[in-house]
Chains A and B, each alone.
Chain A
Amino acid sequence: MRLAISYLLGLSLLTLLMFGTNLLGLPLNTTNSLLLFALTIIPLIILYPHLPSTPKISTSPSKLNKILKGIILVLSLVVLLNDSYRIVGEWDSLTLYDFRARRIVETGSIAKAAEIQGSYFYSYPLFTSLFHSFTYLLGFSSPMLIYGLIFISFLTIFYSLLRTHANEFLSLLGTILLIFAPHLFWHAQIAYTNLAYATYLSLGALFLLEWKDNKSTIFAILGMFFTGTSVWVRSTEPFWLGNLLLFLVIGVSNFRFKDIFYGLLFFYPLQQLWKRYVAAMFHNVESTVSQIQGSVATVATAAIQPTFLQLLSDTIVFFTHSIVRPYAPVLLLFAISLLMQLTKRRLSLFLISLIIFDLLVSFIGTYVFAITQSYWREIPGSLERMMMFISPLIIYVFIITIDSTKKNYGQ
């Protein structure tokens, strides 16, 4: 697990360093990229022994567990094999992520690349574009292996976090469920931002839950740093809010104010970074408060129009089509988990609240989008992909719930 955490931390740190130093005037070329890579490695080496590791719990060897491990291994290797072959070739990555990366490589400057592409450049933060640039600067022809390694790191950390609570069979089953979760396997093989977003956001939440039980500050820091990185991957979605609320509720209710300070220290700069940069580039000095006031006024005005009920009904249909139907297998696991927890009267209150909160946010967000944007129906695929992060949270609660019933299948 340490290696997997280091990899995800390293990707975040490297891209942040590339961004920060380039803004300060350091050109992005091969030598400087290697220098920044070395600078990323140093704190990781120092931090490595303090990172959480996979729990070593001795269990009697089981044939079924070996089969499950074999399936995970084969599917992971297939992802790596495909990624070593694939190139960046999908629509969004060509129009934005990889286009930016190639212009950054050519000009050595983020500002110059932005000047070439215009306002579209600022649509999403530079996380994936910068690691594309990094691989091109090092002479590789494709950055796809990085996506495969994000996926494998995700699986490794997810398994390890499950293993601290559940038996080996259930942890392996949960990991296989994760591989099969909607979109994840495919997104490990294409150059979109959704896999990285789902990885950082859901692992951020799971680290915070671990912090609740484990009480170790490192989990609070990891949880909030990963949540912050999810905003550095995709800044438009507000799901970081759920993780932040979870963090504050756990911290305040347990009087862990020192951890709250450290967590916010690692989260807030990342959450603000892209927003502030874009605002500075457009000389937009409007305060956050006045922005919120403006948005609330727009939505409130639209919401009291006579057509709002029709729009609400359209949103429900759209939401059902884009979220409920494609995620039906995962949502069924959630329904069963809730049923089991209610029967046993042992609720994983924090995680269940977070999942319900995120689902509500996605519905309300869709409704607000429908009110404010005329083309809102044209993005069902985008909404579907955006919700990829919900599957790991639901699978986690499903496995933990089964384990807590103490009926160990297959063992």
Chain B
Amino acid sequence: MWLNIPILTLLFLDVIYYQGYVTRLIHLPVKYLVILSLILSFILAKANKSKAYVFAIILFTLYVLALTVEGVTHQGFVYEVVHLRPESMFLFLLPTLFFLLSRVINSKLNLLIGLSLIYYFLRLTPIVTVQLTSSTREIIRAPIASYDHKMRLNWGGFYDFTKLVNRVTLDDSVIAIPPRSSQHPLIGNSSFFWYFIYPRTLLSLPLQVEDFGNATFTIINGTDPIWPNISFPTKHLWLYRDGQPVVEYQDILYDPADTRFQGGMDIAELEDKL
């Protein structure tokens, strides 16, 4: 027991300071300390403290509470209030809870069962807690939110941009989009973009645009590099920037070098072909 206490105390320092503090202090990865503590608890198990499990349950409950509070507020909230880091608690709690278990149970097989359950809940509880709090937080914030509000929560400004596209184009419009690539993950994925703007037709063009084919509109994606990267005259052009009013131009020449078109998402109506 007295061999384990200093190790657990050392592991607790990471919870107080930061993850990696102990490694810097002793020049040894923390996982070796965790393994050493687990082995000591396993070998030296002695069931003489029947109430140790109560302390273990309290510790685990506090851990879940810390995760929940962090989930409903913001990351770093628990540290700001009590100077403890929930994200560093796993490597402290795993050997600590097992140590407490080794004070209640003697049987080696039962200790292994206990260890597997402690590991299971410590690894998976944070995930479930985050999932639980992130969803319920939105319900509390906006209990009667509209479909648009919920979609905006999922897809941010991109959703508002799709609403703009629906507003300024007709159902039978053909809209040119960039090719599917990491530079255009949302707008370039025709299957995805289509969900929002159906029944309009999407025309996926290459990175180097030469011709807009039968498209009547085109998307302008102001990422770096900007797409499309050629100049062309437009009948209408709508600039969309998150949280700002839409800016509309008429009969304007689109130029990829023009800074107005960079860093946002725009839609332009192409001039009729002769």
Bound-complex Cα distance A98 to B145 (A): 21
Residue B248 interfacial (CB < 8 Å): no
- What residue in chain A is nearest B121 (Cβ atoms)? A180
Q: Do B135 and A82 touch (CB < 8 A)? A: yes
Q: Are A333 and B116 CB-contacts (below 8 A) given A89-B154, A94-B195, A95-B191?
A: yes
B123 touches A86 (CB 8 A): no
Question: In whole angstroms, what is the CA distance A180 to B143 when docked?
Answer: 26
Give Cα A89–Cα B196 distance, bound, in whole angstroms. Answer: 11
Given contacts A99-B194, A179-B128, A340-B109, A332 and B120 within 8 Å (CB-CB): yes
Q: Which of these, B112, B139, B155, contacts A336 with CB under 8 Å?
A: B112
B contact face: mostly helix, strand, loop, or mixed: helix
Q: Is the CB of B195 within 8 A of A99?
A: yes
Contact B191 A180 (CB under 8 A): no
B147 touches A141 (CB 8 A): yes
Measured in the bound complex, the distance between the Cα atoms of B138 and A87 in whole Å is 12
List the B side residues contacting A86 at CB < 8 Å: 135, 150
Main secondary structure of the interface of A (DSSP, over half): helix
Question: B225 → chain A, closest Cβ, in Å?
Answer: 23
For chain A, the count of residues having a C-beta within 8 Å of the partner chain is 40
B124–A181 contact, CB under 8 A?
Answer: yes
Residues of B within 8 A of A75 (CB): 128, 132
Q: Chain A's nearest CB lies how many Å from the CB of B72? A: 13
Residue of B nearest to A340 (CB): B109
* A81, CB-defined interface residue at 8 Å: yes
Q: Inside 8 A of B125's CB, which chain A residues have their CB?
A: 180
Shortest CB-to-CB span from B93 to chain A, Å, is 14
Chain B CB within 8 A of A311 CB: no
Say how far A166's CB is from chain B's closest CB, in angstroms: 14
Q: Indicate whether A402 reaches chain B with its CB closer than 8 angstroms.
A: yes
Closest Cβ neighbor of A186 among chain B residues: B131
In chain B, what residue has the closest Cβ to A179?
B128
> Within 8 Å of chain A (Cβ to Cβ): is B249?
no
**Is A78 engaged at the interface, CB distance under 8 Å to the other chain?**
yes
Chain A neighbourhood of B113, CB < 8 A: 336, 340, 402
Complex Cα spacing A185 to B121, Å: 14
Complex contact B131–A189 (CB within 8 A): yes
Q: Give the CA-CA distance A189 to B131 in the complex, in Å.
A: 9
Instruction: Give 27 A-B contacts (CB < 8 Å), ordered by A residue.
Output: A78-B136, A81-B139, A82-B139, A85-B135, A85-B139, A85-B150, A86-B150, A87-B147, A87-B151, A89-B153, A89-B155, A95-B191, A95-B192, A95-B194, A180-B124, A181-B124, A182-B124, A185-B127, A185-B131, A186-B131, A329-B116, A332-B116, A332-B119, A333-B116, A336-B112, A343-B109, A405-B109
